[in-house]
Amino acid sequence: MKQNLAHIAVVVRDYDEAIQYYTRILGFTLIEDTVLSETKRWVMVQPTGAENGCHLLLAKAATPEQEKYIGCQTGGRVFLFLYTDNFYRDFENYSAKGVEFTIAPHEEDYGIVAVFKDIYGNLWDLIEPAHK
């Protein structure tokens, strides 16, 4: 048996705002932006260099109930884990672009890590895994 995660939906306020943030601030690659209807698009981004990895599906909130969960899809816990091959390069780059880090860089057994908020308030771990 072989399985893998293909997409993770992130509820967003606006497609273009989300595309701009994830591509210009976090440096992700826009994989697809297809209009499905007058109000719905299929928008996927992925970290640059992450070939064949999981994509983020940027899903615009369609109802007031969905809007309540923008930025809080996991009840305030870290939602996504972004691995990097150079922690301090990305930390400095993100900081210079105004990304808010809520937990400063520190070392753990598994690597160097810091927590940041995305444009909507979702919490992310930025991690450079320890080389064992």
Over the range 69-104, which residues count as b (16 or more CB within 10 Å of their CB) and which as e? ebbebeeeeebbeeebeebeebbeebeeeebeeeee
Tens digits of per-residue pLDDT, 45-103?
A: 999 988 778 999 999 999 999 999 999 999 999 999 999 999 999 999 999 999 999 99
Residues 27 and 116: their CA atoms lie apart, in Å, by 15
* Residue 50 burial (CB count, 10 A): 13
Last residue of a domain, one of 69, 87, 103: 69
Structural domain boundaries, residue 35: 1-69
Looking at the 3D structure of the chain, how many domains does it have? 2
Tens digits of per-residue pLDDT, 18-32?
A: 999 999 999 999 999
Same domain as 81, residue 50: no
Same domain as 64, residue 7: yes
Q: What is the pTM of this model?
A: 0.93
Same domain as 87, residue 124: yes
Same domain as 90, residue 34: no
